[in-house]
A and B are shown apart, each in its own frame.
Chain A
C-alpha cells in the first residue's frame, strides 16, 4: 500500500500541481477538529465502567447500526473491493457478497442473545455458565489476537495511505504519520471512551457512505444511468468479456477454487465472531435495539457494497485495469484515481479525508475492545479475582489503551510495506475459528462444557495461525511475506476450510469427553436471560 503514495503523487503532479496536498490537509484538519469537539463533549459524563466500555448503553439502534457500519467498512474494504472489481471483475464482487451475507449470522443467531447475557466483552457471554478463569483467559487471548492483527493492518495502511494523500513521502515521513495517527487515536479513546469512539464511527460512516454514493451517481450519470452500458464500457476497456464472469482470480486452478471456498467460509462465519463488532451490541439499552442496530447496519453495508460494484466497474471503464495496475499503488489506487477522474482534486481530497477518518475510527474501535477485554477479563476477573473496583478496572483499561496505542504505533512502523490483506484475512479466519464455534455452542447447546470451550478456542486460534504461517501467503511465492524462503506446506492462502470445522469438532469432542459437569442452574439462567432479557434490560417499574 505504500506504493500508493507515489501513484497519487504522480497523478497529482501531472494535473493538479502542488495545491493538492493542502486541500487534503485542510479537509483532514477539519475532520480531526470536528471529531475532537464531539469526543470532548461525549466524554463529559464518562463515570462508570458501563459509560466507558459501553457508552452508558445510551445509543439508539439507528446510531449504533451506523457505528457498526463504520466499524465494518474499513479502508481495506473500500479501497480493496473497488480495486478488486476494477481488476478482477466479478471475483471482486464475490468478496462484498460474503461480507454482507455474514451479517445474517449476527442478526439471527448472535446479536440479541449476546446483548441479553453479557455486559462488556465477548468473554462475559462465553464464561456465563462455564468456569470463569479458563474460559475468560482463552476468550481474552483470542480477542487480543484478532484485534492485534486487525490493528497492525490498519496502522500499516494508515501510514501509507495518509502520507500519500498528504504528499509526505519516504519512510521517516510515513513513520511520523503513523505516530500522529496513533497519538490521535489514543487521545480519542482515552478521553472519549466508547461514547466518543462511537460518535467518531458514526461521523465516519456517514462520510464514507455519502462519498461513495456521490461517486456512484457520477459514474452512472456518465453512462446515462444504464448499468448495462457501464458494464459494456468496462468490457471494452478491459479488452475481454471475462471481467463480467467469475473465475478471473479464483478460477485459475483446482487449488485456487478450493481456496475460494475456504475464503467464503471465513468471510461468512468471521463477522459474527469479530470482538469489536460484538462489543458494539453492548452500547444499546435492550435486545430490541441490538436487533435494530444489525438491521440498520445490514441496509447501510448492503447499500455501500452495491455502490462499490458500480465504482469498481466504473474505475475499470474510466481508468482501465492496465493503468490501475501500472500505477504504483496497484489495486488499492482504483478508488482514489476514480475520485480524481470524476471530481478533480476536491473530490480526491474528500475521499482521502474519508479514508483517513475510516482508519482512525476503526483503530479506535479496535483499541477500546482490546483494552476492555484486558481490563475486564484478564485484570478484573483473573488477576484481581473479581475483587477489583470499577474505578480500578477503568484505570487499568485506560493504561491498556496507552500500551496498545504505543504497541500499534511501533508495530505499524514495523509492518510498513507488509501485506495488509494478509493480516485482515488472518483476523477474519481467527475470529471464525476461535470465537464463533464457542459463541454458538454456549448460546444453543446445553451440554457444552468448559473443556469444550477451551479446546475449541485454543484449537481454532492455534490451527488458524499455524496454517497461515505455513501457507503460500507467508513463503514460497514471489508475492509472499518472506519471498526468499519456502516452508509453504499448506497449499491454501486461507485456513478457514480446515480450522473452522476443526474448532467446531473440538468444541463438541471436548464437551463429550469432559468428566466435569457444568452448573445446571447457571445454564438455565443463561438460557432464560438470553431469550427474555430479564435483568439485562433497563430497570422497569416494579
Chain B
C-alpha cells in the first residue's frame, strides 16, 4: 500500500497543457473564489476583535446578560464563526470542489496509465 503511492505518477502528463485547460482553470477559480474571500473575512473579523479588545475597553465591558459582557460575547462569537466557516468550507468542498478535482485526477491518471 505504501509502496504504490510512492511511485511517482505524473511523469507522462503534460502539466502545462493541463494547467491551461478549461476544466482545471474552472477548478482553480472555484477553489480561490471561496478560500480567498473567506480568509480575508475571518482575518478582518479576528483583527477587528483584537483591536476592540485592545483599544475599546469600555465598549467591551458593557454588560449584556448577568455578568456576561460584550467582550465575552464577541470572544465566544469568534468560536462560533470559526466553527461556522469550517462547516461551510466542508460543505462547499464536498459539493463543488471534490467532484471537479476527482474528475480531473481520474482523467489524468487514466492517461498516465496508457
Chain B nearest CB from A503 CB (Å) reads: 17
- Closest A-chain residue to B30, C-beta based? A531
CB contact list, B73-89 vs A, under 8 A: 75, 78-79, 82-83, 85-86, 89
C-alpha spacing A241/B71, complex, angstroms: 13
Question: In the complex, how many residues of chain B place their beta carbon closer than 8 angstroms to a beta carbon of chain A?
Answer: 62
CB contact list, A93-108 vs B, under 8 A: 93-94, 97-98, 100-101, 103-105, 107-108
Known: A108-B89, A295-B86. A534 touches B6 (CB 8 A): no
Interface class of chain A by DSSP: helix
CB contact list, A257-280 vs B, under 8 A: 257, 260-261, 264, 268
- Closest B-chain residue to A540, C-beta based? B109
* Contacting residues, chain B, for A261 (C-beta < 8 A): 50-51, 54
C-alpha spacing A264/B67, complex, angstroms: 26
Kindly supply a per-residue 1/0 record for chain B positions 68-107, scoring 1 wherever the CB is within 8 Å of any chain A CB and 0 otherwise.
Answer: 1101100100110011011001100100001001001110
Chain B nearest CB from A303 CB (Å) reads: 9
Known: A101-B42, A228-B66. A533 touches B2 (CB 8 A): no
Check if A527 sits within 8 Å of B65, measured CB to CB. no
C-alpha spacing A525/B15, complex, angstroms: 5
Known: A48-B2, A107-B89, A268-B43. A244 touches B10 (CB 8 A): no
Kindly supply a per-residue 1/0 record for chain A positions 288-299, scoring 1 wherever the CB is within 8 Å of any chain B CB and 0 otherwise.
Answer: 100100110011
* Contacting residues, chain A, for B69 (C-beta < 8 A): 244-245
Known: A524-B16, A528-B18. A104 touches B82 (CB 8 A): yes
Kindly supply a per-residue 1/0 record for chain A positions 523-542, scoring 1 wherever the CB is within 8 Å of any chain B CB and 0 otherwise.
Answer: 01101110111111111101
B35, B54, B66, B109, most chain A CB atoms within 10 A: B54
Check if A244 sits within 8 Å of B72, measured CB to CB. yes
Among A69-77, A246-254, A459-467, A473-481, the stretch that binds chain B is A246-254
21 A-B Cβ contacts within 8 A? A50-B6, A56-B2, A90-B53, A90-B71, A90-B72, A94-B75, A98-B46, A100-B78, A101-B78, A104-B82, A107-B86, A108-B35, A245-B60, A250-B54, A264-B47, A288-B98, A298-B82, A525-B10, A531-B101, A539-B5, A542-B109
Kindly list the 8 A-B residue pairs having the minimum CB-CB distance in the complex, ordered from nearest.
Answer: A228-B66, A535-B9, A542-B113, A231-B67, A539-B4, A525-B15, A524-B19, A535-B10
